């Protein structure tokens, strides 16, 4: 559906996005993940047609031009006409998207209901909370039934309850359309996305499924606790790396190959070391993220 090749954006001497390439298939949910200043917003603005790339190619639905009428876009900080009611604003947005007056009337009520604002259609936006405005912004992005939905930090301004509700909406929406959203929150990406694009300083550090990220970069560590001291001998074993001793009798370390587990335990027996506890500790997604991003 969307193919990006060598996408670059330069502001004076600063490269905000540097030769970014990726592909997104129909009905995928893809998270653009990275810290502030990584180039996420700039990338989304180029993909939505709001910014012109310095170089590179964007191919959307087989065409080299961005068809805005088939894209729904929600900026990180959506702006509204505060004197309008929610329904007036959506009718305005619908007309800008070339919907007929009849369709606008029907669709505006439909999307208000979908985002949970059906009782607020006749209320002025000036009285809306931040969470309500975010929902209204999402309704605006959906009113013309886009094929690609681009969301910039869609839940960053929401409380935990609102965050959960919008993430649930995104899970439902990906059954009908393709979603590309930016976030700096790992948990949000893990909840909703099929694939992630990890950005740092405008370049991609990882592109692909979360499952592959975990498999490729997972470096399991082991925890060993014994009655006797582990000092001296454990660190000398050639297959033990990254050893840290919390106590003389408790250590955390890596093995160069998981096959060495048996050899290690056999070594404990040879040394008459009484093992009290032994476990494999799996790295969290956050630890893997920090490793890949070089943070």
Per-residue confidence in pLDDT tens, the chain, 295 aa: 899 999 999 998 899 999 999 999 999 999 999 988 999 999 999 999 999 999 999 998 877 776 777 899 999 888 999 999 999 999 999 998 888 888 998 999 999 999 999 999 999 999 998 889 999 999 999 999 999 999 999 988 788 888 888 899 999 999 999 999 999 888 888 889 989 999 999 999 999 988 888 888 877 789 999 999 999 999 999 999 999 998 999 999 999 888 899 999 999 999 999 999 999 988 778 888 888 888 7
Q: What distance lies between CA 181 and its chain's CA centroid?
A: 7
Q: Which helix (H) or strand (E) holds 261?
A: helix 260-270
How far, CA to CA in Å, does 186 sit from each of 152, 163, 206, 289? 15, 13, 14, 8
Residue 214 sits at φ, ψ, to 5 deg, of -65, -40
Domains and CATH numbers, the chain: 2-209 (3.40.50.300), 218-293 (3.30.70)
* In contact, 104 and 153? CB cutoff 8 Å: no
Helix, strand, or coil here: 290? helix
pTM of the model: 0.82
Predicted pLDDT of residue 98: 86
């Amino acid at each position: 559906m969307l193919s990006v090749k060598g996408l670059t954006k330069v502001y004076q001497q600063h490269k905000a996005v540097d030769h970014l390439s990726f592909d997104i298939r129909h009905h995928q949910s893809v998270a653009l993940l990275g810290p502030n200043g990584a180039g996420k917003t700039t990338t989304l603005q180029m993909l939505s047609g709001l910014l012109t790339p310095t170089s590179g190619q964007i191919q959307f639905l087989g065409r080299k031009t961005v068809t805005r009428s088939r894209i729904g876009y929600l900026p990180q900080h959506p702006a509204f006409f505060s004197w309008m009611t929610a329904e007036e604003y959506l009718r305005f947005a619908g007309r800008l998207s070339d919907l007929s007056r009849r369709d606008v009337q029907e669709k505006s009520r439909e999307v208000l209901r979908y985002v949970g604002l059906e009782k607020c259609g006749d209320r002025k936006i000036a009285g809306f909370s931040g969470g309500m405005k975010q929902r209204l912004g999402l309704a605006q992005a959906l009113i013309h039934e886009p094929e690609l939905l681009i969301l910039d930090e869609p839940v960053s301004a929401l409380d935990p309850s609102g965050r959960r509700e919008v993430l649930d909406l995104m899970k439902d929406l990906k059954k009908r359309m393709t979603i590309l959203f930016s976030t700096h929150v790992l948990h949000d990406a893990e909840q909703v996305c099929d694939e992630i694009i990890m950005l740092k300083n405008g370049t991609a550090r990882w592109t692909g499924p979360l499952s592959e990220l975990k498999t490729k970069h997972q470096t399991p560590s082991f925890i060993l606790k014994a009655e006797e001291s582990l000092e001296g001998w454990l660190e000398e074993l050639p297959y033990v790396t990254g050893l840290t001793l919390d106590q003389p009798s408790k250590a955390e370390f890596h093995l160069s190959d998981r096959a060495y587990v048996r050899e290690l335990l056999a070594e404990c027996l040879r040394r008459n070391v009484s093992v009290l506890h032994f476990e494999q500790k799996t790295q969290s997604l956050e630890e893997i993220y920090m490793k890949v991003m070089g943070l």
